[in-house]
Structure 1
Amino acid sequence: MTAGGIASREARAAARERLSVLVDSTSYLDVTVLAEQLAGVTALLDRETALRRVLTDPSQPGEPKAELVGRLLGDQVGGEVVDLVSGMVRARWSASRDLVDAVEELADLADLIGAERDGVLDTVEDELFRFGRIVVSSPELRTTLAGRVASTAHREAKVALVRRLLGGRAQPVTERLVARLVERPRGRSLEGGLEDLSKLAAERRNRSVAVVTTAVPLSDTQQRRLGAALARLYGREIRLNLDVDPNVLGGISVRIGDEVIEGTVAGRLDAVDRRLD
């Protein structure tokens, strides 16, 4: 998912807010169905280039575009999805593909909200990270899952493999999110897509994700100290996704977004503590 220009970022933020309001105010809403229907709209817009250009044409007023959405989707999806997408096409977008990215993000977010409702959001976040580590450590698996989709049969085979790998071993929502990603990567790397999902899960709790790679496992005390130090440094809660690699330079590498902090475990922790005390 790309950040897009200023107009697209504002439109995406507004769409996410509308989704949150919808879910919070509608107790009967099945967010799993909502997510699947939004994913279907994503596939439609990704496939129909001319349609998404019409729906994001800045020279056209928003209301006729919203009416077009109603005519196209009204018999295919629920009214909540029609309302969400209609609101999105009324907004201004920097590029037509930004609309597709945003609808896809809403689908993923709806599933993550469902995980939060069920009390398993932390588990899903951890499973996404762990699956990403498995993919990185297995070139054969990565090639199989990330290979270019040449046919419907190939796409279905990749989804079936994900279901065999995760079925019964992970939360159903984790399985759905990964299956959608491998079925329709939309130009993303598998690792990049999994990282996007992990970040979206963290943002749902207003947290950032720190990918911490150490030469040796951190003790519980070291994990608490590192998490507290990073939270003080960045001014928000930081979730630690932990990995072990004996070859990591300096003993530890901490990556938050595009920023990387490296150094020895004890030295870096003590240095951060001294700077912030």
Structure 2
Amino acid sequence: MAGEDTSTGGLAGRYALALFELADQAQALDKVADDLKGVDALLSESEDLQRLVRSPLYGREQQAKAMDAVLAKAGVTDLTRRFIMVVAQNRRLHALPNMIRAFLAELARRRGEVRAEVTAAVPLSETQEKALLDSLSKSVGGKIQLVLKTDPSLLGGLVVKVGSRMIDTSLRTKLQRLQFAMKGVG
């Protein structure tokens, strides 16, 4: 769907680039990025908030008022608050998560960072995180932005996504392959 495109040509990308330019002029890129990460976390944690931004049943004023209250409670900067209020007034809150991803992707791109999503069965220790970061830096080259997630269904091992590449060393996948291979034997 064109409205959910996170590239610079899509709706989310255009809004993200506009915010990026404003934040860059205000020398507030890091603060705005932190604000957006916090808002994204709130969106992913709250089903009520997800319903608010996605449902066409809520009017422009209802969405703006509710988002303003959420943002005040979250303590975001004025620039972030004003941006999200414009998004709400334009009835584009449904695309806010994509706008956030596009902003963070543009920030990482301009800083020469590569995003690596790592899913583990259990939370990684600091030593494991550092070793993983060092290993990824050597293989990919450049700065790595590590995004860690946990998924107990993996049973063990890791699933690493860097760009379009994915490396799956999870026990779940290994057991599935073994099960598939054993079906072929009998």
Kindly indicate whether residue 119 of structure 2 is the aligned counterpart of residue 213 of structure 1: yes
Question: Counterpart in 2 of 1:132?
Answer: 40
Say which SS state the counterpart of residue 239 (structure 1) adopts: strand
Deviation at 1:142, TM superposition (A): 1.0
Percent of pairs with identical residues: 25
**What is the CA RMSD across the aligned residues, in angstroms?**
3.5
Question: Counterpart in 1 of 2:109?
Answer: 203
1:105-184 to structure 2, matched below 5 A, reads 105-114=16-25, 117-118=27-28, 121=30, 124-148=32-56, 151-167=59-75, 170-184=76-90
Question: Counterpart in 2 of 1:261?
Answer: 167
CA, structure 1 residues 137+151, in 2 after alignment: closer, same or farther (shift >3 Å)? closer
Instruction: Say whether the 8 Å CA contact 1:214–1:248 is kept in structure 2.
Output: yes
Question: Which residue identity does 1:164 align to in structure 2?
Answer: A
Question: Counterpart in 2 of 1:104?
Answer: 15
Deviation at 1:124, TM superposition (A): 4.1
Instruction: Say whether the 8 Å CA contact 1:146–1:182 is kept in structure 2.
Output: no
Deviations along 1:98-121, one digit per CA (max 9) or x if unpaired, are: 497665343121233246x35x61
CA, structure 1 residues 127+99, in 2 after alignment: closer, same or farther (shift >3 Å)? closer
CA, structure 1 residues 179+198, in 2 after alignment: closer, same or farther (shift >3 Å)? farther
Question: Which residue identity does 2:64 align to in structure 1?
Answer: E
Instruction: Say whether the 8 Å CA contact 1:212–1:255 is kept in structure 2.
Output: yes
| Whole-Å separation in 2 of the counterparts to 1:181 and 1:213 | 31
| Whole-Å separation in 1 of the counterparts to 2:83 and 2:154 | 30
Pick from 142, 145, 157 the counterpart of residue 236 of structure 1.
142
| TM-score between the two structures when normalised by the length of structure 1 | 0.47
Deviations along 1:38-97, one digit per CA (max 9) or x if unpaired, are: xxxxxxxxxxxxxxxxxxxxxxxxxxxxxxxxxxxxxxxxxxxxxxxxxxxxxxxxxxxx
Q: Which runs of 5+ in 2 are unaligned?
A: 172-186
Aligned length: 167
CA, structure 1 residues 250+203, in 2 after alignment: closer, same or farther (shift >3 Å)? same
Instruction: Say whether the 8 Å CA contact 2:43–2:49 is kept in structure 1.
Output: yes
| Whole-Å separation in 2 of the counterparts to 1:179 and 1:233 | 41
Question: Which residue identity does 1:215 align to in structure 2?
Answer: A
| TM-score between the two structures when normalised by the length of structure 2 | 0.65
Task: Report which structure shows greater RCO (CA 8 Å, sep ≥6).
Answer: 2
Instruction: Say whether the 8 Å CA contact 1:158–1:182 is kept in structure 2.
Output: no
CA, structure 1 residues 256+137, in 2 after alignment: closer, same or farther (shift >3 Å)? farther
Higher percent of residues as strand: 2
Pick from 83, 86, 98 the counterpart of residue 192 of structure 1.
98
Q: Which runs of 5+ in 1 are unaligned?
A: 4-11, 13-97, 266-277
Deviation at 1:171, TM superposition (A): 4.1
| Whole-Å separation in 1 of the counterparts to 2:91 and 2:169 | 35
